Amino acid sequence: MEFLKKKALRFYTKALESYEKCEYDFAMFFVEQSIQLGLKFLISKKYGEIPKTHGFRILFELAEMKEFYEENLDVLREIELAYTASRYFDVEYTKKAVEKSLEVLKKFLERL
């Protein structure tokens, strides 16, 4: 299921591109997708299946990364909400919020 890792890294690249263009809603969406797919990659390696959920708490637990989740809980909650909010609502993210999210994402991707 190596394709999940590749997609996670592609979403990271798209998040950076969107950040540079000041498209913060897209950046947050891509950050969320990168983390979600990275977690599913780790879980699929361990269990041989891709979970159907996109909830971070469950995914981090299945990936045995509960400590990372708890250490970054505030930022991860905002990222997780972006899964829906950035697509369906008129929500704006600040540059600083996206920067924090990208920092957490980078730390997460180092663990892949």
Alpha-carbon gap, residue 20 to 98, rounded angstroms: 11
What is the average pLDDT across 10-17?
98
Nearest-CA neighbor of 93 among 23, 36, 30, 14?
23
Q: How many domains does the chain have?
A: 1
Q: Which domain holds residue 10?
A: 2-109
Note the pTM of the prediction, 2 decimals.
0.94
CATH of the domain at 13: 1.20.120.330
56-68 pLDDT, tens digit per residue, is 999 999 999 999 9
79-101 pLDDT, tens digit per residue, is 999 988 877 888 899 999 999 99
